[in-house]
Amino acid sequence: MIKKAVIPAAGLGTRFLPATKAQPKEMLPIIDTPVIQYVVQECVDSGIEDILIISGKGKRSIEDHFDRNIELESKIQEKEDEEIYMHMKHIENMANIHFIRQKELNGLGDAIYHARFHCGSEPFAVLLGDTIIDSVIPVTQQLIDTFEQYKQTVIAVETVPKDKVSRYGIVGGDKISDKLMQLNELIEKPEASKAPSNLAIAGRYILTPEIFQALENTPRGKGNEIQLTDALKLLLKRENMIAQTIEGKRHDIGNKLDFLKTTIEFALKRKEFSSPLRKFLEDILKNGKK
C-alpha cells in the first residue's frame, strides 16, 4: 500500500517570466484552480493523504494556499456564499501536507533526495508539480495498482511522435502487455535515431526507497544537477523496473502554449463556460478567415 507522495515544486519557472517573478509556476491558475491543487487532488483520489511538497525560495504561497485563512472564510460567510465556503474548507482539509525547502536548485533528483527522512523505508509516489494528467482513473492509482502486483518501481510513460523523442526521457525494454514494459534502458533526450522507443517519461512514478541510495551515488549530470533519470539508470542495474503507458491526457504546464491549450480545454468542460467560450472561439476563427 502506497501511503506517501512527494511533489517536487522548487523550480524557478523561468519560461513564465515575468508572471513567475513573484509567484510559483505551480500556483498559476487553470481558470480558478492552481496547477498544484490538481496534483494534490490526484494524490487524494488515489488514496494518498500524506503528501510532502518540496518547495524553494519564493514558494510560500503554495503553503498558504493549503492553509486556513480565517479572515477570508469570515468574509465569505458574511456574503452567505455556501458553495465557495465549502470549496475553501475542502482545500484546507484535502490532505496532511508537509513542506520542506530545497535550498539550492540542484535538480529533480536532489529534490526527491530531500524526501528520504519523510518516506523512510516505504515505497512512495512522485508527482511533478507542474504536470496535470486528466484521466478517469487517476494515473497515480494506475501506477499503484501495478506496483501492488509486481512490487517494482513503476514509471509512467506516454507515446510521443518519433520526431519529438529528443525532448523527453525515453525508456526501452521488453513488452509485458499492451500497457506494461519491463525496462532495460532509460535515455535522457536521445536523438530520434538512437531512441529505443517513443515512450516518454510522463511525470509520475512509484519509487522504492532504494532510490535514495542511488541518488547518493549519482554524479551531477545535465545542467550540473542531480538528475532523477540518471539515478534510475543506476538503480536499474540492481532491481527491476516497469514502465506503464498511462490512460489519460498529460498537460505539461511548463510552457506557455500548453498552458493556454490546457486552460481552454478545461474551460470547455465547465458548464458555465462551455457554450459561450465555444461560440467565442468559433467567432474568432470565422472572422480570422475573412
Q: Are 128 and 170 in contact (CB under 8 A)?
A: no
**What local confidence, expressed as pLDDT, does residue 290 receive?**
52
Torsion of CA 169, 173, 177, 180, to 10 degrees: -40
pLDDT tens, residue by residue, 170-192: 999 999 999 999 999 998 888 88
Query: Is the confidence at residue 223, as pLDDT, over 80?
Result: no
User: What kind of architecture, by CATH, is found in domain 4-254?
Assistant: Alpha-Beta Complex (3.90)
pTM as predicted:
0.92
Distance, CA of 138 to CA of 98 (rounded, Å): 22
**What local confidence, expressed as pLDDT, does residue 88 receive?**
87
Torsion of CA 90, 91, 95, 96, to 10 degrees: -120
**What local confidence, expressed as pLDDT, does residue 194 receive?**
85
Residue among 23, 17, 8 at smallest CA distance from 59: 23
SS3 (DSSP) at 51:
strand
Q: Are 140 and 204 in contact (CB under 8 A)?
A: yes
The one-letter amino acid at 186: L
Q: Are 113 and 212 in contact (CB under 8 A)?
A: yes
**What local confidence, expressed as pLDDT, does residue 115 receive?**
95
CATH 3.90.550.10 residue window(s) in the chain: 4-254
Q: HSE of 137 in the Cβ direction (CA atoms, 13 Å)?
A: 8
Among 132-141, 155-164, 184-193, where is mean pLDDT lowest?
184-193
Verify cis geometry, omega within 30 degrees of 0, for the bond prior to 209.
no
pLDDT tens, residue by residue, 59-96: 899 999 999 888 888 888 888 788 888 888 899 899 99
